[in-house]
Amino acid sequence: MSYRWLLGFAVAAGVGGVARGEPSAADKQHAAELAQESQQHYKRGELEISAALLRQAYALYPEPNLLYNLGRSLEGLGDKQGAVEAYENYLATAKQVDDRGAIERRIVTLKAELAEHAAPVEPVNPVEPTKPPPEKIVVVRAPAEPPPPSALPWLPIGVGAAAIGAGVYFGLTARGAHDDAVAAVSGIDAQKRQDDAHRDATIANIAFVAGGVVLAAGIVWEIHEHRHRDAPTTALRARIAPANVALEWTW
């Protein structure tokens, strides 16, 4: 199927006289010129101009071959519906078409392409969209807070500290009584003061020893309660004498 030459235009244009209702010789001549011009644009690929010139020519002189050439131009432009209409009009108005079967098959092909393009495309086996996996919720439990430290260890610590304090007091009293015994004028008074000093020193020693034991037990208990912490090393030393009392605390 190629562009068709419009034979007979010049002959028809040169015939003298015009039948009633038929195009004039001038119209036929102009139509022939437009058809020839459209052929040049068709060869250059200027299909829109070619189709426009063919419509003008057909309006002046309805030659069937113009419809065929119009169908070729429209098909080249992608206007399949317009091409089908032009081909069908050509077959309906042309007196003799040698390749009618080929043109009819072309019309069927174009109509099938139009129907395929117009019909909605549905997937043969629609695939359901993949559902995202359920979210995994990971619960991270914070480590349990350790229980608050117990206040019980501070009871023996307090008692022990109080006993040591009492020991300090009696130690100082014993030192004062000893000084009074040294300064006493009479022997009886001096002996009495020395006995008081010995008694107070004994009480101080007992208070220091008992208080130290109780205080040490309380400290060990407190360290045991906080064994997960780095507890400092604690030591308590006491030096007791009738005339001298010393208490050393290291940590």
Q: What tens digit of pLDDT does each residue of 131-189 get?
A: 666 655 555 555 556 666 677 877 888 888 898 888 889 888 888 888 887 887 778 88
Would you say 92 and 67 are in contact if contact means Cβ atoms under 8 Å apart? no
Q: What is the pLDDT of residue 113?
A: 94
The closest alpha carbon to 50, from 24, 26, 75, belongs to 75
Give me the CATH topology for the region 9-16+23-118.
Answer: 1.25.40
Contacts of 26 (CB under 8 A, 6+ apart): 13
The arithmetic mean of pLDDT across residues 84-110, rounded, is: 95
Spans of all domains in the chain: 9-16+23-118, 154-250
Mean pLDDT value across the chain: 80
The closest alpha carbon to 201, from 223, 232, 175, belongs to 175
Q: What is the pLDDT of residue 14?
A: 43
Q: What is the pLDDT of residue 192?
A: 83
pLDDT above 90 as % of the chain: 38
The arithmetic mean of pLDDT across residues 13-37, rounded, is: 76
**d(C-alpha 106, C-alpha 185), whole Å:** 154
Q: Is the pLDDT of residue 126 over 90?
A: no
**Torsion from C-alpha of 92, 98, 99, 101, nearest 10 degrees:** 60
**Distance from first CA to last CA of the chain, Å, rounded?**
113
pTM, rounded to two decimals: 0.45
Q: What is the pLDDT of residue 68?
A: 96
Residue 121: helix, strand or coil by DSSP? coil
User: Residue 249: beta bridge partners?
Assistant: 236
**d(C-alpha 171, C-alpha 196), whole Å:** 11
Summarised one tens digit per residue, pLDDT across range 195-231 is: 888 898 899 889 888 888 888 887 887 777 767 555 4
